[in-house]
Structure 1
C-alpha cells in the first residue's frame, strides 16, 4: 500500500519536473490537496507529511475537518461554488476562497467578515466565465473591471 508521504513526494517531484521544463522555480507553485471525500484521518496523515494547503468544495464537509486540523501552518481553500446564503460560514474557517462569481457573494462575504470581526483578510480569487456557458458560474469577462472598481 502506498503511503501518503510517498504519494505527496511523487506529486512534488512532478511539480519540480514540470517547473524545470517551463523554466520556473518549483517553489512558486502551490499545491492544494483537495481533501473533499477524504476522512479526517486521511487529511491529518497528509498534513503530517508537510502538506499545508487543503481544498474543500462544501462548507458542511469542511467543517467536519477544519476545527480538528487548526494550525497556523494550514491554509484552507474553498474551491467550489459558494451559495451566498452560506457565506457567513466562511470567516474564521477558510483563508482562501477561489470562487467569487458575483458582486452579491462578495458583499455577503464582506458583511460576514465584519460580523465575525475578522481582522485577517480573506484571500479571494475571482471566477470568470470565459466560455459564456450559462451552465457555468463566474463573472462575464467584461464585468470584471466594473466588479473590481
Structure 2
C-alpha cells in the first residue's frame, strides 16, 4: 500500500501535469481533500504534509472533526446537501459552503454572516444533468436559474460569492459537462467579478476539470483510498440521494 505522502504527491503531480497540458499555471489549481468518513487521524496525517483544505459532507461529522483538530490551521469546506437547520452550525465554523442551490439556504447562511461579522464564503451548486441532459435531481440549481441566484446571493450582506460548483453527470463524458459549467461561470463573473473560483473535478475526472478551468478540485479516493460506502453511493457524497463531490 502507498503512504499518505505518496498518494498526496501523486495527486499533486496529476494536477500539475493537467494544468500544463491545458496551458495553465499549476498554482492556479488548489486541492481540496475530501475527508468524509475518514477519522481525524487521517486528516492530521495529510495536514502534516502541508494539505490545509479539507471537505466534509455531513454537518455533524464536520463539527466533530473540526473540534478534534482545532489545534491545526485547517480550512474546512462543506460539500454536502445542507439543511437549513444545520446551516448555522456550519457557518459558525467558518466553513466554505459549496452547495448553495436555493435562496432559502443562502439567507440562512447570510444571517450567521451578519451576526458574526464574517461573511460566509459560498459556491452555487449547479445541476449538470444526466447523460440525456435532464436534470439529475442530485442537488444543484437548474443552470437557467443560476444567474438570478448569483444576483441574490451577491446582494446578501452576510455572504461572499466565491463561484460555482458542480459534479459531472453519471454515465456521460465529463468534458462537455464541465465545458457547460465553465461557460456558465464566465457568465456569472461578467456580473460578479468576485466569483472567480470554479469547484469541479474529483479523483476520476480531475484532468477534464482542469482543462475546463477548475480552480478547486475535490479529491477523496485518490488521497485516502476507497471508502466502504453503502449501495448506490459514490465516492464523494451521500446525503439526500445526491451525487456529491469527493
Q: What TM-score, normalized by structure 2, do the two folds share?
A: 0.55
Structure 1 segments, 4+ long, off by >6 Å, are: none
Unaligned runs of 5+ in 2: 153-246
Cα deviation per residue 1:49-87 (whole Å; 9 max; x = unaligned)? 100110100011111211232368421110011111211
1:66 aligns with 2:58: no
Unaligned runs of 5+ in 1: none
User: CA 1:73/1:142 → structure 2, altered by over 3 Å: closer, same or farther?
Assistant: same
Task: Name the structure 2 match of 1:33.
Answer: 33
Larger RCO (CA within 8 A; separation ≥ 6): 2
Q: 2:44 & 2:137 partners in 1: Cα distance?
A: 35
Task: Name the structure 1 match of 2:4.
Answer: 4
Cα deviation per residue 1:90-133 (whole Å; 9 max; x = unaligned)? 1231431100010000011111333xx32332211101224252
Aligned counterpart in structure 2 of residue 120 of structure 1, from 97, 118, 121:
118
Partner secondary structure for residue 11 of structure 2: helix
Q: 2:66 & 2:55 partners in 1: Cα distance?
A: 11
Shift of 1:145: 2.6
RMSD over equivalenced CA pairs, Å? 1.8
Q: 1:72 & 1:113 partners in 2: Cα distance?
A: 23
User: CA 1:45/1:97 → structure 2, altered by over 3 Å: closer, same or farther?
Assistant: same
Q: What TM-score, normalized by structure 1, do the two folds share?
A: 0.88
User: CA 1:119/1:20 → structure 2, altered by over 3 Å: closer, same or farther?
Assistant: same
Asked if structure 1 preserves the Cα contact closer than 8 Å seen for 2:100 and 2:125, the reply is: yes
Shift of 1:21: 0.9
How many residues get paired? 147
Asked if structure 2 preserves the Cα contact closer than 8 Å seen for 1:91 and 1:118, the reply is: no
Aligned counterpart in structure 2 of residue 145 of structure 1, from 119, 144, 147:
147
Q: 1:129 & 1:60 partners in 2: Cα distance?
A: 25
Partner secondary structure for residue 5 of structure 2: helix
